[in-house]
Chain A
Amino acid sequence: GQNIDQPTEMTATEGAIVQINCTYQTSGFNGLFWYQQHAGEAPTFLSYNVLDGLEEKGRFSSFLSRSKGYSYLLLKELQMKDSASYLCAVMENTGFQKLVFGTGTRLLVSP
């Protein structure tokens, strides 16, 4: 089974850096995804980690430690448009793939 934990809400100011943590317990681990979801919209893909380490993509970076069951999403140079929910999701492969989500972290960026 899956158990994915992330903070419910975070606040930060424009231009700052914020780190959103995610811990998980799973079987058949086949990677960890981060998605962004604005209110009333579909989740959109941000990043994917399957090996330990840091993946950087512009202002967003994601880190994974498989031994610790831990990931974080790092957002730099925050902009107002970054206010959204950030969903941590683990891909489980038990013969077929399925993506299991955490509750999401609502990030509010203020001026």
Chain B
Amino acid sequence: ETGVTQTPRHLVMGMTNKKSLKCEQHLGHNAMYWYKQSAKKPLELMFVYSLEERVENNSVPSRFSPECPNSSHLFLHLHTLQPEDSALYLCASSQEAQGGTEAFFGQGTRLTVV
């Protein structure tokens, strides 16, 4: 238990579906991240929220839409995905104000697009 909880753990969706991934952190952190992990590729940073404001969007396609309603919750809204979007999506949190503090990861959502 890392203090970061992601739901669902597994998700299968069609290319025309709309779904959302949820992340909740109980660590009092003020920065949250979405990462994508595909086979044989490094963890790819998708979005960064610092103090509930999006500060980084790493050229992610618009079919991925993040939302951070407060410092404890982070969502990733998905629509009209492609099969190549199938991957493990990891949420992480850290304490932004302190330099070099570690990021804590959730267990991830294994997404399969069919």
- Assess whether B55 is interfacial by the CB under 8 Å rule: yes
Do residues B42 and A93 form an inter-chain contact, with CB atoms below 8 A? no
* Bound form: Cα–Cα A7–B102 in Å: 23
Interface residues on A, range: 20 to 34
Chain B positions 40-79 with a Cβ under 8 Å from a chain A Cβ? 40-43, 45, 48, 50, 55-56
B96 contacts A96, CB within 8 Å? Answer: yes
Q: Nearest chain-A residue to B88 (Cβ)? A: A40
The docked-state distance in angstroms from the alpha carbon of A93 to that of B100 is 9
B45 CB contact (under 8 Å) in A31, A98, A104 = A98
A interface, CB within 8 angstroms of B? 4, 30-31, 33, 41-45, 48, 50, 87, 89, 91, 93, 95-104
Q: Which residues of B contact A (CB under 8 A)?
A: 2, 4, 31, 33, 35, 40-43, 45, 48, 50, 55-56, 90, 92, 94, 96, 99-100, 102-108
